Amino acid sequence: MESGDSTKRRLTILGSTGSIGTNTLDVIDRLGGRDRFEVAALTGNGNIPLLAEQARRLGAELAVTADDNLYQDLKSALAGSGIAVAAGRSGLTEAAERDAGWVMAAIVGNAGLAPTLAAARRGADIALANKECLVSAGSLFVDAVKTGGGRLLPVDSEHNAIFQVLENDQRHAVERIILTASGGPFRTKSLDEMRHVTAETARAHPNWSMGLKISIDSASMFNKALEMIEARHLFGLNPEQIEVIVHPQSVIHSMVGYSDGSVLAQLGCPDMRTAIGYALSYPSRCDLPVERLDFAKLSRLDFEAPDEVRFPALRLARRAMEAGGVQGAVLNGAKETALEAFIKGRTGFLAMAEIVEKVMDDLADLPPAATMDDVFAADEKARQMAAGLIG
């Protein structure tokens, strides 16, 4: 049961200062703000002024910075507000365990796994934007959601699209799902051109406005690779049922193919608020001020097969899915380490996939995870090995 005003919906946003978090708050504001919602907790990382402003504006009960060193800064920024303050991993867990029926899981990277798992275990509905919960923890995380009794509501635009058009009473008839990919800023670049790109050029996504890391993951198609692994766990599919098609316009967000030859697709203008609003209002739909798709002005929709030579992340995802076990955690841990090194100029764009593949080769014999500690151990081994390769 949720405490507080029973006429209002209580929620928590893990990662409120990032791209997904700020869009979530925009949706909340447009749907009535404090008149309709109670905010149990907000969490952020280094952007203390924004986190404090959000907490004051929405009357959050608790504000948390993931950085222990910024605790005093956040406490000072919220002095006199009556808003409780916490920091670090324990603070994130405290936020997740606060009584709220709906939790936006938008902390980027493996740091989001523990607090999201804590929210799932107590039975909250999880609006899932963090990829690592399913990529690294897979069935352990899905089982935690089922045991807790909450619902798993995908927020990634592709998974949300599938969630909207996947007919629950026809799951037996699903032949395949087709995840669309824009192709990113390097869709038409040669391998030689891609070898010399920088983090600044890689972050310039042609269609979506996203944070730095996810934008670079999109450019390398590691973002799509993670989505493939997620889709397997979200929708209970076999690896061979998951396809990827490059669709530069990002109008079709994903598709479901059925045994009678029908293909159902979800279309819309690129705007994360659509998926967020659907997850927040599910099973209803809400009114949102997003751009409407004008078919008369839509001159063409293009599709092409992905090039796994230039974008080997897709091949590595299939390998991880087929191997099972902790290979998703290994792939992700190595990828995050390589991505950090690329952002800092310590490794090349194409070298990221090479590093991930070498780590997967060396850790191919790790046993399956029986507990979350096994997942964290595999992740740590992958990160250490990747760091050693980077030097």
Which residues are annotated binding-site positions for 1-deoxy-D-xylulose 5-phosphate?
A: 131, 157-158, 182, 205, 218, 223-224, 227
Question: Residue 367 carries which side chain, given as an amino acid letter?
Answer: P
Question: Residue 290 carries which side chain, given as an amino acid letter?
Answer: V
Determine how many CB atoms are found less than 10 A away from the CB of residue 53: 14
How far is the C-alpha of 379 from the C-alpha of 23, rounded, in Å? 29
Binding residues for Mn(2+): 156, 158, 227
Binding residues for NADPH: 17-20, 47, 130, 132, 211
* SS3 at position 126: strand
For residue 73 the two structure tokens come to: 């800064």
Binding residues: 17-20, 47, 130-132, 156-158, 182, 205, 211, 218, 223-224, 227
With tokens 């619902």, the residue in question is 151
DSSP sequence for 340-369: HHHHTTSS-TTHHHHHHHHHHHHTTTPPPP
- Please list, in sequence order, all residues whose beta carbon lies within 8 angstroms of the beta carbon of residue 262, skipping any fewer than 6 positions away: none
Q: How far apart are the first and last CA of the chain?
A: 51
How far is the C-alpha of 238 from the C-alpha of 330, rounded, in Å? 20
- Please list, in sequence order, all residues whose beta carbon lies within 8 angstroms of the beta carbon of residue 18, skipping any fewer than 6 positions away: 44, 106, 107, 108, 211
For residue 124 the two structure tokens come to: 């909250």
With tokens 């396809």, the residue in question is 243
